[in-house]
A and B are shown apart, each in its own frame.
Chain A
Amino acid sequence: MSDSISTQLGNIKHIILVLSGKGGVGKSSISTQLSLCLAKKGHKVGILDIDLTGPSIPRMFGLENRQVHQASSGWVPVFTDESQNLCCMSIGFLLQKKDDSVVWRGPKKNAMIKQFLSDVCWGELDYLIIDTPPGTSDEHISVVEYLKDANPDGAILVTTPQAVALADVRKELNFCKKVNLPILGVIENMSGFICPHCEECTNLFSTGGGEAMAHEFGVEFLGRVPIDPSLTLIVENQDSSPDKDLIKKYSASNLFKVLSNITDKIIEKVSLKNT
């Protein structure tokens, strides 16, 4: 079994997990934005969504009604663009109706994750970004276990600045330490909102907590991402918008500059590891 995982993941240069102990802090949104930035910089990127009971990746890329195809070498991931630089895999592509709930206990979830790793033919990729559900349970233990031989580069932890979220993210940091998963850094999401009427910045969920935590744990702080409703609009209006090129639309937004910086830091960090 693990042989087939190494075969399928053999041509992937870097594997990065996006984790958070807390839900709704923007794991999928950060995964999406990182992928878009990496693709914009000319890399080939794959995204694997292992949030089985609440997959968000199909919606983020406007791929909700797409299906996975079977080829002789395995499942073909869904490509987002014609240049075939960005592809995704999610349980969302395997459901008959999109509102169907996936009511699965641990063992079934683990089997699905194993299948995603051993049966999807990613081909040659520069980066594989793995988007995860919140917590430190079955999905997380399994993915780390199955990826052991593939030698993942590490994890990016996403948090929001308030203490209630940080409390859970600290647990996730300790999880990474327990399972010996290197931590590439911490991103503080939803940090401040600039009122479009008066330009006053309000810290909806406080600010600075992520950075303080990163220092405390001795891990790198990758940056602060503000709340920007325009991202939701870009994502949600994909169906109606005539321009289907998400990479182009995203790179015109204000968030692109912020994430582009963070992406550069990550690229630098993982390239160091290989030399």
Chain B
Amino acid sequence: MAVIDKPENAPEHCPGPSTEQAGKASACEGCPNQKICATAPKGPDPALQFIKERMNSVKHKILVLSGKGGVGKSTFTAQLGFAFASEESVQVGVMDIDVCGPSIPKIMGLDGEQVHQSLSGWSPVYVQDNLGVMSIGFMLSDPDEAVVWRGPKKNGIIKQFLKDVDWGDLDFMLVDTPPGTSDEHLSIAQYLKESEIDGAIIITTPQEVALQDVRKEIDFCRKVKIPILGVVENMSGFICPNCKGESIIFAPTTGGAKKMAEDLNIKYLGSIPLDPRIGKACDMGISFLDEYPDSPACKAYLDIISEIKKQFTD
């Protein structure tokens, strides 16, 4: 709730829409929102308490964000999940809150799986014993079905993913997000406020058209006070499998992610080259890192992942 205490265009002495006084204070007189404020439920959302209890058993919560779509958020989340879970003792959960375009089930090889209900809540779908996944993709009767939902319904399902899923004890929960800075992002920040988010990993591609959206996402993180673990530049450069010549597909005309990270004073985690085999591995739902351990892209991934791990072992 504290994410937006008071609307920016509120009357001067607005008591705040979630307070006891909402809609009743003298400042509310004549405010176009008075009626809504006066009738809306008061006090903190009761679900926040349940979420907090559920999240007590999750040690680290990491968001994977980007203002831009199609830069590789889900691919990165999945590979990070596979990499963390390669240690048997580490329990990992992946939560996909991209409600309208869930990619995680396909990328992690769980297409067509269903969620099961148990006494302690919904059970995540497991890739392996220590890697559980939850996505709206598991709940659709037809994989091509469009999820035509406005904000409040999307927020509802995200809340349920946090409150009703039996995640168990987790070392890491990775949250894959849709592009943008709207309902899903505000909600996850708000719902996890009490249980603290460790930070966000920002994914981008090198060209300015993507970076300009990513800067907005960083601005968002600062507004809602989510720490930024670092920036990853994806799809930077391509090595022709035929002649080994390097080409730039998405030209970093403004210096790419590295320059942006320096300008905004955040950590630059590294860059991952374009490799057609990454896309193929995602389409087939297998771990790229296990499949092509000798590729330069795999090495880049592992370097970045170890940088991230370092932040959690100190």
Contacts and interface: CB of A to CB of B under 8 A. Distances in A.
Contacts of A28: 209
The CB with the most chain A CB atoms within 10 A, among B99, B103, B146, B247, is that of B146
A229 B248 contact: yes
Interface residues of B, number: 64
A137 B151 contact: yes
A53 B67 contact: yes
Contacts of A204: 238, 249, 274, 276, 279
Interface string B106-130: 1100000000000000000000000
Contact of A102 (B69, B150, B181): B181
Interface string A14-31: 000000011111001000
A165 B182 contact: no
B217 interface: yes
Nearest to B72: A24
Interface string B237-254: 010111101011111011
Contact of B212 (A99, A104, A162): A99
A167 interface: yes
B144 A171 contact: yes
Interface string B75-114: 0000000000000000000000001110100110000000
Given A24-B71, A101-B217, A197-B247, A164 B145 contact: no
B interface majority secondary structure:
loop
B222 to A, nearest CB: 9
A134 B248 CA distance: 25
B35 to A, nearest CB: 15
A141 B151 CA distance: 11
B2 interface: no
Contacts of A197: 240, 243, 245, 247
A215 to B, nearest CB: 15
Interface string B276-312: 1001101100000000000000000000000000000
Contacts of A53: 67, 179-182, 213, 216
14 contacts: A53-B67, A53-B213, A100-B216, A137-B151, A141-B148, A162-B280, A164-B107, A167-B106, A171-B146, A195-B242, A204-B276, A229-B249, A229-B251, A235-B209
Interface of A: 21-25, 28, 52-54, 56, 59-60, 98-107, 109, 133-138, 140-141, 160, 162-165, 167-168, 170-175, 178-179, 193, 195-198, 200, 202-206, 227, 229, 232-233, 235-237
Considering the complex of A and B, which 7 residue pairs feature the smallest CB-CB distances, nearest first?
A: A23-B69, A24-B70, A106-B151, A197-B245, A135-B100, A198-B243, A53-B180
